[in-house]
Amino acid sequence: MSKTIISIVCPCYNEQEVLHTFTDKITSILSETGYSYELLFINDGSKDNTLALIQQLASKDGHIRVLNLSRNFGKEAALTAGLDHAKGDVIIPIDADMQDPPELIHDFLREWQKGYDVVVAKRIDRSSDTLAKKITASLFYKFHNSIADVEIPDNVGDFRLITRRVVQAIQLLPENQRFMKGIFSWVGFKTSVVEYARQPRAAGESSFNGWRLWNFALEGITSFSTAPLRVWLYLGVFISTIAFVSGIAIILKTLMFGVDLPGYASLLTVVLFFGGVQLIGLGVLGEYIGRLYMESKRRPIYIVENDTTSPPSQSANDIDH
């Protein structure tokens, strides 16, 4: 068998409705390229028929491999599992829902042949997203990039081509809580950009609702920046200075003009306000400490339940006897 050149890595969580369309489409695109390829599905603990479906597809087509995780670990973990098990020279993570147009693979390969190690797909059109998602996404990128050590390019998702050495670099990052967009940017390498218009989901539902996206954004910021921790130092210095100066002013005023009683309302407001500010500071500390705690357990990022992707080691032993 010739060596696999292209590995398509597709994390799937409850994707039964789109899998057939997706597989047909991507298979036809891949055969057009003329390269040998594999299509690696990662079943991320789907609750529907996804696993049975991809296993059935794999039994009919030797290019298709299935990695079944023991439960739902989330897209970032499923993607990591896929990168760890992909065998190709170039690896292309893609969503199963057809939001990442498979046609772009041709452009990816063209750029790769020019010598790029990373080819990212940039959305030029977010019209398939709701207004709220557009606004929050743009705010997130602005905020993240203004405080984080590595910049995440605007409107670029996980859909991209990376070469094997980029995957090897990614594997050097041992963190448990994986914000892949940040990790992809962090490793660097020569990058080319291909533009596309993002389509709405072909079928099924997005598993990223508002709350999950908010946590995802927190993950992104706390994984790649400590600015939210440091800001409290400066805020503290600023407020203490004001308090010190106003304290001196009050003492002088009292010495000169005597004691005057009114002012409880404003005093209470200030106390409450700074009580709130302190709690926010504690909350930010809590976010980081929580992440430190999870990270310090050194748990694996994912657990594979069954892997039809590599031949069972049993068969190798059999030959010896």
Contact criterion met (CB below 8 Å) for 25 and 59: no
Question: Does residue 15 bind ligand UDP (CB under 6 A)?
Answer: yes
Distance of alpha carbon 317 from alpha carbon 295, whole angstroms? 37
CA–CA gap between residue 14 and residue 163 (Å, rounded): 28
Considering the rule CB under 5 A, would residue 97 count as an interface residue with Mg ion?
A: yes
In the set 21, 49, 56, 72, which binds ligand UDP (CB under 6 A)?
72
Q: Are 43 and 67 in contact (CB under 8 A)?
A: yes
Smallest distance from ligand UDP to CB 251, Å? 58
Which is nearer to ligand UDP, 63 or 123 (by Cβ)? Answer: 123
Token digits for 111? 């750029």
The string over 169-193, giving b where at least 16 C-beta atoms fall within 10 Å of a residue's C-beta and e elsewhere, is bbeeeeeeebbbbbbbbbbeeebbe
Nearest approach, Cβ of residue 271 and Mg ion (Å): 47
Residue 96 near which of Mg ion, ligand UDP, none (CB within 5-8 Å, type-dependent): ligand UDP
Out of 38, 97, 117, 219, which residue is the one contacting ligand UDP (CB under 6 A)? 97
Show contacts with ligand UDP in window 145-164 (CB under 6 A).
none
| Residue 99 interacting with ligand UDP (CB under 6 A) | yes
100 interacts with Mg ion by CB under 5 A: no
11 binds, among ligand UDP, Mg ion, none (CB under 5 to 8 A by kind): ligand UDP
CA 113 to chain centre: 27
Closest approach of Mg ion to the CB of residue 204, in Å: 9
Q: Which stretch binds ligand UDP (CB under 6 A): 134-142, 205-213, 215-223, 307-315?
A: 205-213
From candidates 39, 58, 78, 167, binder to ligand UDP by CB under 6 A:
78
Q: Which residues contact 305 (CB under 8 A, 6 or more apart)?
A: 68, 69, 70
What are the helix (H) ranges across the chain? 19-33, 50-60, 75-85, 104-113, 131-147, 164-171, 180-187, 210-224, 227-257, 264-296, 313-320
Least separation in angstroms between residue 181's CB and ligand UDP is: 11
Q: Which is nearer to ligand UDP, 77 or 119 (CB)?
A: 77
From 99, 191, 225, 309, residue interacting with Mg ion (rule: CB under 5 A)? 99
Contact (Cβ atoms closer than 8 angstroms) between residue 178 and residue 77: yes
- Applying the rule CB under 5 A, the residues between 244 and 303 that interact with Mg ion are none
Q: Is 44 in the site for Mg ion (CB under 5 A)?
A: no
Q: Which amino acid is at 223?
A: S
Instruction: Rule CB under 6 A: choose which of 9, 63, 74, 93 binds ligand UDP.
Output: 74
Name the CA dihedral angle for 256, 258, 264, 268, rounded to a multiple of 10 degrees: 40
Residues of this chain that interact with Mg ion (CB under 5 A) are: 95, 97, 99
Residues of this chain that interact with ligand UDP (CB under 6 A) are: 11-13, 15, 44, 72, 74-75, 78, 95-97, 99, 206-208
